[in-house]
Amino acid sequence: MAGPEDDRLAVDLLIRGFQVSRTIRLVADLGIADRIAPDGKSSVADLAAASGVLAEPLLRAIRALAAFGIFRVDAGGMACHTPRSLLLRSDAPDSLHPSARFWTAAGSWRAWEALDAALHGRNPHQAAWGTSRFDYLRSHPDEARIFDAFMANFPDDRHAAIATAYDFTGVRLIADIGGGNGETLRRILALYPAAKGIVFDRADVVAAIPPEALAGGRITPRGGSFFDGVPAGANLYLLVRVLHDWPDEDATRILRSCRSGMAAEARLLVVEGLIEPDPSRGRPTEYLTDMQMMAMFGTARERTEAEFGRLLDEAGFALTRAVPTGSAVTILEAAPAP
């Protein structure tokens, strides 16, 4: 049974969580997990030489992670994989490599440092960087591409879960609004060969999608802002983890943009992690995502199903049903209100 000393250790480790997270990014940025063969061993000296860094600090970083079961390293400086470090390989199924590089990347990291701003009604990211999150990403393409890859490989594995949880039979054209690099569409189109898709996102995001990721031409990339309008004529619209980036008034504007591009028989799927008001019943990661929204966007946040229902109502939609998925996200299906 856990006693007070276990609790003390557990809380101490939580308090020091940023040290673990930052050290994971240190080795992920160097691709160390990819440099060690899944069933092989590498000397830290060789890993350091191949990465162009000093061996001694790299050994200390790998040793610290090994204390958490991420890599194994012996006293002679030979490193090998563990089940946990294998998850950091970029070729692992549902790899955590993009996640490892994302959370403590400069943009996010410095915004978290300014978190107090949110307690006074200000936007921490804006306070830290003097610019909004998405403008920051536009002017920091390296971080923006890490963000896009992270969204496509998010640990909740939402894209595959959406494709299998909802019946897309008969859907001809799907417009994925704020669709990032198109991962949701790729997963859906792989299961529904007759469907086509439009991935609509910021111009720099869609311009970075390689042609081979466009499902043999079945996905059309379109750049633009959903505040100015969305492509018309699709019979299904997706907003996957988009509305949580915005406060209510902006979220309503995005929904209204979708509404005005939609025919009466078209449907909208809002896909989000619904926040459970009682945290003892919710997933810890959802509350952390809510805090990430606070750090990046100030008043943007995770919402309950009832809160999404109210937003939809205000924007001229009727919530028709909620479809759970095998992931942390729920699909909220909405129809244009008559």
In whole angstroms, what is the distance from residue 153 CA to residue 116 CA? 30
- Laid out side by side, the sheet with 72-73 consists of 41-43, 78-80, 72-73
- Number of CB atoms found within 10 A of residue 76's CB: 7
Give residue for tokens 């997933």. Answer: 283
Question: Min. distance of Cβ 184 from ligand SAM in angstroms?
Answer: 6
In whole angstroms, what is the distance from residue 2 CA to residue 222 CA? 54
The alpha helices in the chain, defined as continuous H runs, are: 4-15, 17-29, 32-35, 44-51, 55-66, 83-86, 97-102, 106-113, 124-129, 133-139, 141-152, 158-165, 183-191, 203-207, 248-261, 284-297, 305-314
Strands 267-272 and 41-43: unpaired
Residue 71 or 129 having the CB closest to ligand SAM: 129
Question: Min. distance of Cβ 178 from ligand SAM in angstroms?
Answer: 3
Half-sphere exposure of 137 (CA within 13 A, CB side): 17
Phi, psi of 202 (to 5 degrees): -60, 145
Question: Min. distance of Cβ 190 from ligand SAM in angstroms?
Answer: 16
Residue 70 or 315 having the CB closest to ligand SAM: 315
Question: Min. distance of Cβ 284 from ligand SAM in angstroms?
Answer: 19
In whole angstroms, what is the distance from residue 186 CA to residue 152 CA? 10
Question: Min. distance of Cβ 174 from ligand SAM in angstroms?
Answer: 12
In whole angstroms, what is the distance from residue 54 CA to residue 38 CA? 23
Question: Min. distance of Cβ 183 from ligand SAM in angstroms?
Answer: 6
Q: List Cα–Cα distances, 2 to 5, 10, 69, 136, in angstroms.
A: 8, 10, 21, 44
Question: Min. distance of Cβ 204 from ligand SAM in angstroms?
Answer: 8
Can 140 be counted among the known catalytic residues? Answer: no
Contacts of 17 (CB under 8 A, 6+ apart): none
Residue 183 or 302 having the CB closest to ligand SAM: 183
In whole angstroms, what is the distance from residue 62 CA to residue 67 CA? 9
Which residue among 97, 125, 159, 244 is the active-site one?
244
Residue 77 or 298 having the CB closest to ligand SAM: 298
Nearest by Cα to 145 from 184, 101, 104: 101
Which parts of this chain interact with ligand SAM (CB under 6 A)?
134, 151, 178-180, 183, 201-202, 205, 225-227, 240-242, 245
Half-sphere exposure of 178 (CA within 13 A, CB side): 23
Q: List Cα–Cα distances, 36 to 27, 57, 166, 193, 332, in angstroms.
A: 12, 18, 39, 38, 42
Give the active site residues.
244
